[in-house]
């Protein structure tokens, strides 16, 4: 059974940092990424990488503030979020698939349940 389990969300103040984790199990993925969805908004791409090539992608809105990384031994992907802003408030979802990473949500067949990140001003 494929599982993606996110953790690490919470309530922080603007300028603070958070690290999200996504633990995967059930199969080997080539691409893993993070998306987010704010209230009354579409789900949007945040960051992703291709496991075999280490190619990484970031949304312009998070470049320089967020970093995606992985721990192969733990089958875990992280999203380090620094200098958080109120507009980063959203539910953050981990996504995975066997193809190359992409900014398109439709590329990913497997999704976690999401973790809430709230940034107060």
CA atoms within 13 A on the CB side of 71: 10
> What's residue 111's pLDDT?
97
Token reading at 119: 């940034």
Q: Residue 105's closest CA among 86, 88, 89, 92?
A: 92
CB 95 within 8 A of CB 30: no
CA angle 107, 111, 112 (to 5 degrees): 155
CA atoms within 13 A on the CB side of 60: 0
Mean local confidence (pLDDT), 67-72 = 92
Residues 6 or more apart whose CB falls under 8 angstroms from that of 64 comprise: none
Q: Rounded to an integer, what distance in angstroms lies between the CA atom of residue 30 and that of residue 38? A: 27
Tens-digit pLDDT profile for residues 6-51: 999 999 999 999 999 999 999 889 999 999 999 999 999 999 998 8
Provide Rg for the chain, Cα atoms. Answer: 13
């Amino acid at each position: 059974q494929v599982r993606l389990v996110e953790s690490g969300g919470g309530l922080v103040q603007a300028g603070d940092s958070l690290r999200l984790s996504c633990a995967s199990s059930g199969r080997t993925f080539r691409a893993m990424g993070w998306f987010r969805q704010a209230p009354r908004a579409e789900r949007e791409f945040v960051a992703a990488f291709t496991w075999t090539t280490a190619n990484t992608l970031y949304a312009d809105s998070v470049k320089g503030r967020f970093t995606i990384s992985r721990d192969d031994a733990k089958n875990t992907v992280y999203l380090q979020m620094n200098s958080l802003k109120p507009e980063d408030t959203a539910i953050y979802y981990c996504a995975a698939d066997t193809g190359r990473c992409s900014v398109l949500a439709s590329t990913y067949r497997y999704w976690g349940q999401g973790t809430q990140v709230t940034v107060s001003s």
